[in-house]
Structure formats: structure tokens, C-alpha cells
Structure 1
Amino acid sequence: MAEEQKEMSFLGHLEELRWHLVRSFLAIFVLAFVFFIFAKEVYDNFLLAHIQPDFITYRLFCDFFNYLGMDSAFCTIDFADKKLQSIEVTSQLMNSIWSSLILGFIASFPYILWEIWRFIAPGLTKKEINSSRGFIFVASFLFFLGVLFSFYVIAPISIQFLYNYQITDAIENSFTLESHIGLVTNMLIGVSILFELPVLIYFLTKIGLITPEFLRRYRKHALVLVLIVAAVITPPDIASQVIVAIPILILYEISIIVSKRVIKNQQKNANKSPRV
């Protein structure tokens, strides 16, 4: 009888997980459908915004270097002859569908976190729930901070560099729609996930897999790993890699503080617990 109840409980958890996943995917698909309907506006104002010479980042960098009395390539950006190529019959349709799904995931990220929280919350104590109440807000804030950093800093710098990089005049740059959109969306997702580092360290510390001492001891190794990751998610130019690496290293230092605070709270709670 006990085994039957245990099996039913396990099957019940699977059924509950299934509905959480269904609602999460439904949210992604609904938002993706909205993005697909307004595909022209999404592409003109978001996904293709970086090939507009008056993009805000280019103007700010131009003004900044002018203020310093320095000439800058950001002041003479011209993408007039940089038309993206669609060389397959289904290219634009499939690209708009895939981009809509990615943007649907990004927009629904807080809701997905809420569904995850609803699934794991029944297994937590009241004290654990209260101490983790800000999880959705903090994780969502870091995620969208990564989206903004990628969109307004990493993507425009990378695109400006790559669109103007040329080995010789004998080679003409003619980029495809897939390569451009893939570059932008990969940056959005990759950098945003990297910005979740403090949240990941928080949970790894809670379950005892990570300690502040461990993070400090392997800080140099983390620096090398961050540079490798930055090289993977950014174009092969040092400036973009450094710009990505700096905030991640700052987040790593914040993660050490977060881990230290988790350990401190655990020790404090252990001292308060009654001894038998």
C-alpha cells in the first residue's frame, strides 16, 4: 500500500510538472505568435536596428569620443550598401518563425520562472520560501539586464566591427539574413544566461556544492573560463570579448558575496536550532 501511494505520488508530481511545462510553452508560443504578427516592426526596430547608422549606441559613442577630442569610426558609420541576403525560398519565413520563438522565450522568462517556482515551492519549508521570495524578481532583473547589455553594447560594437572588417578589397562582404539574426539572437540569449551567475551560485551554495573559499581559490581559473565563454558568444575581436568579460567578472565577485552570505545565514540558523 505504501509503495502504491509512493508511486501515485511520483506520478502525481510528473503530471504536475507536465502542466507547468505546458503552460510555460504556451506562454512562449502566444508571445511568439504576437511577435510573428508584428514581424516587420520587430525586425525594423529591434533585430535589424544595429544596421541603422543613427542607432543610439553609435551616436553616444560618437559624442563620447568627440568629447575626448578623438576621431571615431562610430561617427562615420554607413550601412547603406550592406543589404542582407535571403538566398532561399523559405529563408524569410523560417527566420521570422525562429526569431519569434526566441523573442517569445525572452519575453516570457519571468512567467517561466514563476512556473518553476510554483513547482518547487510545495517542497520547501515556510522559512525557505520566505528567504527565497525575491528569486523571480532578482533572476528576471539579471536576465533582462543581460538582454539590455547585449542589445545596446555588445551587439552594436560587434556588428560595426564585423560589417566593416575586410581582409582585402578583393573580398566583398555580403551577409545573409540568417547570419545576422543568428548573431544578434545568440548574443541576447548567451549574455542573458551568463548574467544569471549569482542566482546559480546562490542555489549551488544552498545545496553545499559551492563555497566562498572555492570561488576565491579558483578566481584565476574563472577568469580564463570567462574569457573563453566571451570568445564563444562574441565575434573574434578583443574589444567585444573584454566588454563581455568585465561585467561577468563583476558578477563573479558579486557571486562570492552571495555565497558568503548564504553560508553565514546557514551557520546562524544552525546556531539557533535547539540542541538535543
Structure 2
Amino acid sequence: MSWTDHMEELRQRILKSLLAIVMGMGVSFLFMDEIMAFLTSYVGTLYFMRPAEAFMIYFKIVFCAGTIVASPFWFYQFWAFLLPAFTTHEKKVLAVVVPLSLLLFLGGIAFSYGIVLPRGLTFLMNFTSDGIRPLFSMESYMDFVFFMTIPFGILFNLPLFLVLLAETGLVTSAKLRRIRKYVVLASFILAALITPTTDIFSQCLLAVPLLLLYEGSCIFIAAAL
């Protein structure tokens, strides 16, 4: 294929992916009440401080939900565009890696929302008293949920990324162990940049699972490769 043909194929796949996301947003909008009840189940009533705040938050939720619903399709479009560049052996590897990567992404989101998020909220809301009550705005709460779930979906792919690097010989378990102290520092810096709050507990909720995934990857690489 010529450069023009490649760009045309890329354009078509992007348009198809965007169409799938729009359709996913449409489906998400139909179940908006159920989605909001699910997202607010940990805190109950939310409030909005600006006239347009509720509208913008609803749009963000519909967009995120639609993107997740359509993720199998746009994920396929992305890899289908790259697939002709790989060899037969690499295609066989990708046939396992691509679905596994998607499952890890969705699994990371589910893990964070079902385990990390409620425990983090419980800990943070313990700092109340008779004269101090939490009053969550839609924007602050949804930003907290977003930044405590989506990064987990991405970071849950860390073991897969490290295993692929080890498979190609770029890293070994010994090399990974030698840079452990730098990984610890980088994990907390990354957590500080990603998490919407400045407290150390919220940062630990992201940094500690990341370090556990890293250690698990080191053990797996040492045992299997």
C-alpha cells in the first residue's frame, strides 16, 4: 500500500472507532440513571455548585462509559491497522497479547472501583465529627472516581509490558530487581501526579498496587523465562 492508502485506511478506522464510541455513548445515555446510581453508591447524594456543572459531568460520564463499552471494537481497529507490519510469529503472539491487554485494562478498572475506591473513601470519610460532615460536589467526586480507576486499567498492563520486554531480551529479572528503588520512587511520583487529591493515602492506593504488580512481574519472569 502507498502512503496515501495507509492514511486513508487510518482515517477509515478512526472514523469507525469514533462511530462505535458515539453508539456506545447512546447506549450509556439510555442507562444513565443506572450508571449514576452505580457510581454514587458509595457516597449517596451529590451536589453541584455551578449551573453547567451537572450537564458537563453527565457528558463526561456518558463519554467515558461509551468509550469503555466500545473498547473491544476500537481496540480491534487499532491493532488491525498495525497487524500487516508484523511477521507471522508476531501475529500469533499478538493474538494472545491483544485480548489479554483489554482484559487487564477492564480488570484494573473493576479492581479499583470494587476494592480500592471504597476503602479509600471509607478511610478519608473517617475524618468527620459532629460539626464536620462531607458535602461532595459532582465534579470533585467524579474526578476522584475517574483518577482512581482509569490509571489502574492502564497500569494493570504493566506485567504484560514487562513480560514482552523480557521475551525480546531487553530486560531480565535481575535488571528489574536492580532498578527496584528507582521504580519505588517513580511509582510515588506518578501517583502524586495522577491522583486528584494531595493526601499520601490516596497516592499509596495507586503506588502500592503498582509496586505489587512490578514485584509479581519480576517473580514471573524469573520463574518462566
Relative to structure 1, the CA distance from residue 195 to residue 261 in structure 2 (aligned partners, 3 Å threshold; closer, same or farther) is same
CA contact (8 A) 1:154 1:240 kept: no
- Contact 2:17-2:73 at 8 Å conserved across structures: yes
Q: Is the 8 A contact 1:157 1:240 kept in 2?
A: no
Aligned mate of 1:253, from 204, 208, 215 = 215
Distance 1:246 1:224, change over 3 A: same
- Pick closer, same or farther for the CA change 1:129–1:27 going to 2, 3 Å: same
Aligned 8 A contact 1:198 1:251 in 2: yes
Q: Could you tell me which residue of structure 1 aligns to residue 105 of structure 2? A: 143
Q: Does residue 18 of structure 1 match 2:11? A: yes
Structure 1 window deviating more from structure 2 (228-237 vs 211-220): it is 228-237
The residue correspondences of 1:179-194 to structure 2 (distance < 5 A) are 179-194=140-155
Tell me which residue corresponds to 1:122: 84
Shift of 1:257: 5.9
1:223 and 2:163 matched? no
The match for 1:51 is 43
CA separation in 2, counterparts of 1:177 and 1:39? 15
Contact 1:16 1:119 in 2 (8 A): yes
1:244 aligns with 2:222: no
- Distance change in 2, residues 1:226/1:23 (3 Å): same
Q: Which runs of 5+ in 1 are unaligned?
A: 1-7, 53-82, 265-276
Question: What does 1:94-243 align with in structure 2 at a 5 Å threshold?
Answer: 94-166=56-128, 169=131, 173-202=134-163, 204=165, 210-212=170-172, 213-234=174-195, 235-243=197-205
Cα deviation, residue 245, structure 1: 3.2
Calculate the TM-score normalised by the size of structure 2: 0.84
1:155/1:184 contact within 8 Å kept: yes
TM-score between the two structures when normalised by the length of structure 1: 0.70
- Quote how far apart the aligned CAs of 1:237 are: 5.0
Query: Greater CA radius of gyration, 1 or 2?
Result: 1
Percent sequence identity over aligned pairs: 32
Alignment length, in residue pairs?
223
**What's the offset of the Cα at 1:260?**
6.8
RMSD: 2.8
By how many angstroms is 1:226 displaced?
Answer: 1.6
Cα gap change, 1:198/1:21 in structure 2, threshold over 3 Å: closer, same or farther?
farther
Offset at residue 223 of structure 1 (A): 1.4
After superposition, the Cα gap between the structure-2 partners of 1:206 and 1:26, relative to the gap in structure 1 and judged at 3 Å, is farther
Q: Shift in Å at residue 217 of structure 1? A: 1.9
State the shift of 1:216 in Å: 2.5
State the Cα deviation string for residues 121-167 of structure 1 (Å, max 9, x = none): 11111111112211222101211111111111121122223334349
Q: Distance in 2 between matches of 1:176 and 1:129?
A: 47
What one-letter code is carried by the residue in structure 1 that aligns with 2:34?
E
Q: Check whether the contact 1:143–1:196 (CA below 8 A) recurs between aligned residues.
A: yes
